[in-house]
Amino acid sequence: MYCLPDSSKVWMHAGSSIRFQEKFMQDRKVWLTGNSLFEVRKHANSRFRVYVENAFIDVKGTCFLVKQNGDNDNKITLFSGSIEFNVESTDHKILLKPMQEVVYNSDGSGVQLIDLSNISWKDGRYYFTNISLKRFIETINDMYKTDISLRTSPNAESAFTGSIRYDEPLDDVISKICFALNLKRGEEKGKVTIYN
């Protein structure tokens, strides 16, 4: 976690970087490479802007996650507050509400707005509430860039409620899932399977 001069917090994922001007308090602009979650502090008459590949995010005091996957595929997830996503080349603007996600392909193939549910963020943790096991595994695969499979079972539609630290090791997350839902873990050729 990095604290900016205005007390905004940036929870940076491994391999990510940010840069900003020395006179940050006069013009709150951040250039992001990689994946980071922002908790932006409101300051009267001072905008906060995050630049990503060929786009930028205008922030109004809020909590949001930026994921840049390196293949022109970007996701911006808003947990609380308000942000406006702007594509520089087309002047396309999208105002996001809490629990919405923009999927943006910087090669120009488009912008998609998705409504989310059952997930929130607070103090360095993702919180999940009654999220289906299938969707939870998809979320974990996306977060950790892994390919955990769920063997078809009566528990496939079980709901998971719990939290994950932003830096929690994948093995701990898998153990948490198995313990909470009384499941087992198998591994073959480096691929993890969860089953009952």
**Residue spans per domain, the chain:** 2-115, 119-195
Helix/strand/coil percent split, the chain, to 5: 15, 50, 35
**pLDDT tens profile 133-157:** 888 898 898 888 889 998 855 555 6
At residue 11, the pLDDT reads 93
> How far is the C-alpha of 17 from the C-alpha of 144, rounded, in Å?
18
CA dihedral 78, 84, 90, 91 (to 10 degrees): 180
> How far is the C-alpha of 4 from the C-alpha of 24, rounded, in Å?
9
> How far is the C-alpha of 67 from the C-alpha of 142, rounded, in Å?
10
**pLDDT tens profile 105-134:** 877 667 889 988 888 888 889 999 998 888
Q: Considering the chain, what is the average pLDDT of its residues?
A: 88
Evaluate whether 113 touches 100 at the Cβ level (below 8 Å): yes
> How far is the C-alpha of 167 from the C-alpha of 123, rounded, in Å?
12
Q: Domain 2-115 carries which CATH code? A: 2.60.120.1440
Q: Tell me the DSSP string of 118-172.
A: SEEEETTEEEEEEEEHHHHHHHHHHHHT---EE---GGGG-EEEEEEETT--HHH
Tell me whether domains 2-115 and 119-195 share a fold.
no
Residue type, 31: W
Mean pLDDT of 82-110: 86
Q: Domain 119-195 carries which CATH code? A: 3.55.50.30
Evaluate whether 157 touches 132 at the Cβ level (below 8 Å): yes
Task: Kindly indicate the confidence band of residue 85, based on its pLDDT and cuts at 50, 70 and 90.
Answer: very high
At residue 164, the pLDDT reads 93
Instruction: Report CA-CA distances (Å) from 183 to 136, 138, 154, 163, 186.
Output: 14, 17, 11, 18, 10
User: Percentage of the chain with pLDDT > 70?
Assistant: 95
DSSP state of 50: E
Residue type, 19: R
Computed on alpha carbons and rounded to an integer, the radius of gyration of the chain in Å comes to 18
Evaluate whether 21 touches 29 at the Cβ level (below 8 Å): yes
At residue 68, the pLDDT reads 85
Which residue from 14, 69, 15, 7 is spatially nearest to 38, judged by alpha carbons?
7
Task: Kindly indicate the confidence band of residue 6, based on its pLDDT and cuts at 50, 70 and 90.
Answer: very high
User: Percentage of the chain with pLDDT > 90?
Assistant: 48
At residue 117, the pLDDT reads 84
Mean pLDDT of 54-58: 91
